């Protein structure tokens, strides 16, 4: 089954919801970055969160960036999603592995540590909106929910799941996000909270061949009438190009470019998101210099 995302709202207009299946997205990240088992799960969860949160973007060129800057041994985790249903991401220590022989139980917090979660929304030509909260658990979903409650004052429930095969590929990956609309009655809140408390692991339910629509209607929002307003595919895609890197090099300024030319230093630029490499010769640097 292809990756896809749904968006909707309950008929009473009290709860909005998002859900995504993201097997191919996470598998592509694993392949590109040669991720360890640990980072397949953690970056996978962050990619799923990015897809869910990106549905607040209005235009295809708008961007949402999530950055977990923790002090744990796995380093930082960063993903960027577009309003055009694409996402990309990386971690700066892709091979890090939690020693499960010692810990016995997988805890993402052991890899992420404590630090800061940054959420950046770049919408049109306006100044980017930057929200920041502390990393309270390192388990990704809990930290995203905390961000919404503290930075945007939106009551949010979110679950992110990555279930791995023995061959280090993804068996199931997906998640949901539900948010209360303003002035929601208490009995609606109580009913939703009861559903969430009883909810099994989302990726385990996917592995039982439930669709994300069935998971929303039969589990997350059981007892509510729902309306799905969007249903579309999602994919891992990097939009890097030689032209983009050339524009980036021009920001160094004429003096620094001139020094590189004088020192006969070529540039080899590598994209963090897809690992593509772009070589710039002395002649390329001269062209960049003359176009600044």
Q: pLDDT per residue over 13-35, tens digit each?
A: 999 999 999 999 999 999 999 99
Q: Which two tokens stand for residue 59?
A: 């235009």
Residues 6+ apart with CB under 8 A from 119: 53, 64, 65, 66, 130, 131, 132, 147, 151
What ranges do the domains of the chain cover?
Answer: 7-236, 242-291
CA distance 240 to 278: 10
Q: Can you name the residues that pair with 176 across neighbouring β-strands?
A: 19, 159
* pLDDT at residue 103, rounded to an integer: 60
CA distance 95 to 128: 32
Range picked from 99-113, 124-138, 221-235 for highest mean pLDDT: 221-235
Residues 6+ apart with CB under 8 A from 286: 261
* pLDDT at residue 86, rounded to an integer: 97
Q: Which two tokens stand for residue 291?
A: 């176009």
Lowest pLDDT segment from 23-37, 77-91, 215-229, 278-292:
278-292
Lowest pLDDT segment from 133-137, 191-195, 285-289:
285-289
124 band by pLDDT with thresholds 50, 70 and 90: confident
251 band by pLDDT with thresholds 50, 70 and 90: confident
* pLDDT at residue 123, rounded to an integer: 87
Look at residue 273 and tell me whether its pLDDT is greater than 70: yes
Q: pLDDT per residue over 64-110, tens digit each?
A: 999 999 999 999 999 999 999 999 999 999 999 988 766 667 889 99
Two domains, one topology: 7-236 and 242-291: no
Mapping DSSP onto H, E and C, the string for 172-222 reads EEEEEEEEECCCCCHHHHHHHHHHHHHCCCHHHHHCCCCCHHHHHHHHHCC
* pLDDT at residue 99, rounded to an integer: 82
Range picked from 5-14, 253-262, 283-292 for highest mean pLDDT: 5-14
Q: pLDDT per residue over 129-151, tens digit each?
A: 999 999 999 999 999 999 999 99
Percent of the chain with pLDDT over 90: 81
Taking alpha carbons only, the member of 64, 68, 69, 66 closest to residue 86 is 64
CATH number of 7-236: 3.55.30.10
CA distance 278 to 255: 22
Task: List the helix and strand counts (H, then E) for the chain.
Answer: 11, 13
Find out whether 35 and 92 touch, Cβ atoms under 8 Å.
no
pTM assigned to the model = 0.92
pLDDT top residue among 226 and 59? 226
CATH superfamily of this structure's domain 242-291:
HSP33 redox switch-like (3.90.1280.10)
* pLDDT at residue 247, rounded to an integer: 87
């Amino acid at each position: 089954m292809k990756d896809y995302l749904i968006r909707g709202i309950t008929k009473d207009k009290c709860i909005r919801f998002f859900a995504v299946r993201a097997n191919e997205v996470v598998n592509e990240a694993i392949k590109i970055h040669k991720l360890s088992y640990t980072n397949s799960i953690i970056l996978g969860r962050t990619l799923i969160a990015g897809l869910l949160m990106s549905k607040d973007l209005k235009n295809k060129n708008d961007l949402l960036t999530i950055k977990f800057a923790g002090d744990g041994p796995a380093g930082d985790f960063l993903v960027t999603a577009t309003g055009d249903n694409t996402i990309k991401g990386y971690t700066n220590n892709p091979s890090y592995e939690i020693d499960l022989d010692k810990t016995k139980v997988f805890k993402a917090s052991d890899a992420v540590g404590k630090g800061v979660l940054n959420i950046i929304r770049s919408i049109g030509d306006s100044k980017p909106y930057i929200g920041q909260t502390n990393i309270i658990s390192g388990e990704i979903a809990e930290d995203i929910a905390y961000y919404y409650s503290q930075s945007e004052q939106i009551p949010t429930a979110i679950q992110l799941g990555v279930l791995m095969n023995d061959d280090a590929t993804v068996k199931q990956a997906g998640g949901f996000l539900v948010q209360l609309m303003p002035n929601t009655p208490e009995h609606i809140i109580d009913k939703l909270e009861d559903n969430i408390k009883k909810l099994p692991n989302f990726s385990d339910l996917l592995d039982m061949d439930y669709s994300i629509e069935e998971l929303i209607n039969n589990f997350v929002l059981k007892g509510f009438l729902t309306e799905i307003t969007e249903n579309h595919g999602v994919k891992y895609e990097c939009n890097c190009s030689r032209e983009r890197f050339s524009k980036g090099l021009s920001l160094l300024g004429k003096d620094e470019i001139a020094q590189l030319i004088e020192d006969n230093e070529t540039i080899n630029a590598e994209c963090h998101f897809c690992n593509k490499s772009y070589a710039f010769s002395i002649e390329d640097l001269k062209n960049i210099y003359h176009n600044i």
